Chain A
Amino acid sequence: MNEQQEKAKFRQAIDHTLTGLEGDPFLYQRVTAQTEKGAHVMKHRKWNMGLVIALAVMACIMTAAAASGWFGGYVNWNGEILPEERADMLPHPTAAPEMSVDMSSFRLAQELVMSAQEMEIVQVTQKNVFGGESTTSNRLEKHPDTYEAFLVLLAEAPYLPVPAFIPEGYEFSDCQLVYDCRRDGEYVLTSTEVLEDGSRVERYRVAEEDALLSGYSLSFRRNGDPEDYLAVYTRLYHQTDPAEHHIGVNEDQTAQVMAVAGMDNAIAILSDTHRTLTMRRVLPQKVDYLYYDLEEVRYPDSYSEVQIDVMTRQVDAATMADMFSGQ
């Protein structure tokens, strides 16, 4: 079999297997609406899915493929490479409950979660093949339409740093604010529904005064260059041991420890095509809140810290650091 025949058979196999994946007839309308009117016309709420997947991520099996060379290694905040024997000892996630629910049920759960209104949590509980239950849920979120509106809301959360400036040429694209519930508040169950297939759908809200802003994502684009973006992700954590935090570094990336005023740690992960600056600041006072999984989480020995990721293709690490220096 020659190369062209191989390619033809390859494509045929893929296309036959993925016949259920076809283009969206309304994609053109969404693309032109998003680009010309600045409207948010998303078929899916992207960050919602990212967070739902993050739940699954925390409970996934580390595969042989991942162990054999998915990334070059791990470094800690000091840029020290984790020895192989210790890398093997990093917590290995267990099977994802979402993987043990059939795809159509999981898709239903995703659609229900996507239907959540602003500042509403939808939690879907389904039976899995192991005789237990699996849950899928979103986070409490707001989506300001402008950077100015974003800044107004961030004023409520002085513990979350915001960029001191935006590099020249970059324009606001979109943002997402994530909320949890203050420790002395509660997630209020507003409705429960059991579907025909046995799935249980619960909806929760948090009183406005109990909602605590615990993170955000923020993205910018530079005019004329579609692949030139700048993204910021910030998150409040309960933390116990920062030495346990390790950052994966791919084979084509280098890790560079940086000093950023006002941050306890900063490390840049650099490659020819991509740059990430991850920073960490310990908060002087603990910001206590209930975590999104709707069960009270107790960390009596924990402290609060904020982690900030800045990601971009074009902006250099020094500029990314300057954006948050002294914040």
Chain B
Amino acid sequence: MSVVKGPDSEREITIRQMIDENQTVLLRMCYLYLHDVQLAEDAVQETFIKAYRALDSFRGEASARTWLTRIAMRTCMDMQRGFWFRRVERRVTPEMLPDRTQEVEDGESALTLAVMNLPKKEREVTLLYYYQDMTVNEIAETLGVTQPTVSYRLRCAKEKLRTELERRDDP
């Protein structure tokens, strides 16, 4: 997607396209992080509001997906740090997942639950690396940590998810 500057109508076209192409995957990422559908929807809306306002500063150095993911993850992190949202992590169980529109394999929901039950810092890097296909460098910039820290957290997460990932590899 090319960077668009100029009249508001062009901005609106750009943000609409960004919303159409990215909101579902961002919603799912935010849900996996926040464990709550309504919070995730609020985070996604806040993300696109921020993106709309900052459209002029988006220079296309990263893809629109990466740029939006960065905003969304920071929005989620801020929501979790908020005083009125300060909370204890609840272990997510299968019945807490949103209703599905199609059948899903047990292994797939097990992997999803395993991700949601990762410690927060491992969950962050896992979602950005595996679900959003960001590089270690991009993740480090997003989270404000070093690349070795990202690599370490990914290794820890992968160890915890190994059973589920290997199960998915079975033909």
The residues of B with any CB-CB pair to A shorter than 8 Å are: 8, 12, 15-16, 19-20, 23-24, 27-28, 31-32, 36-42, 44-45, 48-54, 56-57, 71, 74, 77-78, 81-91, 93, 95-102, 104-105, 107-109, 111-112, 115, 117-121, 129-131, 133, 143-145, 165, 168-169
Contact = CB atoms under 8 A, between A and B. Distances in A.
Contacts of B20: 23, 28
Given A10-B111, A110-B38, A311-B78, 19 more contacts: A6-B130, A6-B165, A14-B112, A19-B104, A20-B99, A21-B27, A23-B19, A27-B48, A28-B15, A30-B45, A31-B15, A44-B42, A47-B84, A49-B36, A60-B87, A60-B90, A63-B88, A271-B144, A276-B83
A241 B37 CA distance: 36
A47 B39 CA distance: 10
A217 B86 CA distance: 14
B71 A227 contact: yes
A227 B74 contact: yes
A226 B53 contact: yes
A69 B153 CA distance: 12
A33 to B, nearest CB: 10
Contacts of A271: 144
10 contacts: A17-B100, A20-B98, A21-B24, A35-B52, A35-B53, A42-B42, A43-B45, A70-B89, A226-B53, A252-B145
A27 B40 CA distance: 13
Given A20-B101, A227-B71, A27 B23 contact: yes
A217 B169 CA distance: 48
B88 A21 contact: no
B51 A13 contact: no
Contacts, number: 214
A27 to B, nearest CB: 6
A10 B31 CA distance: 16
A62 to B, nearest CB: 6
Contact of A21 (B28, B39, B145): B28
A66 interface: yes
B93 to A, nearest CB: 8
Contacts of A51: 84
A44 B131 contact: no
B108 A24 contact: no
B1 to A, nearest CB: 16
A103 B95 contact: yes
B115 A14 contact: yes
Which of B27, B38, B109, B120 lies at the interface centre, i.e. has the most chain A CB atoms within 10 A of its CB?
B38
Interface of A: 1, 5-7, 9-24, 27-28, 30-32, 34-36, 42-44, 46-47, 49-51, 53-54, 56-57, 60-66, 68-70, 93, 96, 99, 102-104, 107, 110, 217, 221, 224-227, 229, 231, 233, 235, 248, 251-252, 271-274, 276, 278, 309, 311
Given A65-B117, A65-B119, A311-B82, A23 B12 contact: no
Contact of A10 (B8, B87, B104, B165): B165
Contacts of A64: 91
A22 B24 contact: yes
Nearest to B17: A28
Nearest to A10: B130
Contact of B45 (A9, A27, A63, A252): A27
Which of A15, A28, A60, A229 lies at the interface centre, i.e. has the most chain B CB atoms within 10 A of its CB?
A28
B90 A61 contact: yes
Contacts of A10: 111, 130-131, 165, 168
A14 B28 contact: yes
B83 A233 contact: yes
Which of A10, A110, A224, A252 lies at the interface centre, i.e. has the most chain B CB atoms within 10 A of its CB?
A10
A75 B49 CA distance: 35
Given A13-B112, A43-B45, A63-B90, A224 B57 contact: yes
Given A32-B15, A42-B45, A18 B84 contact: no
B96 A99 contact: yes
Given A7-B130, A21-B98, A60 B88 contact: yes
A287 to B, nearest CB: 20
Contacts of B99: 20, 103-104
A11 B119 contact: no
Nearest to A231: B82
B56 to A, nearest CB: 8
A57 to B, nearest CB: 4
Nearest to B96: A103
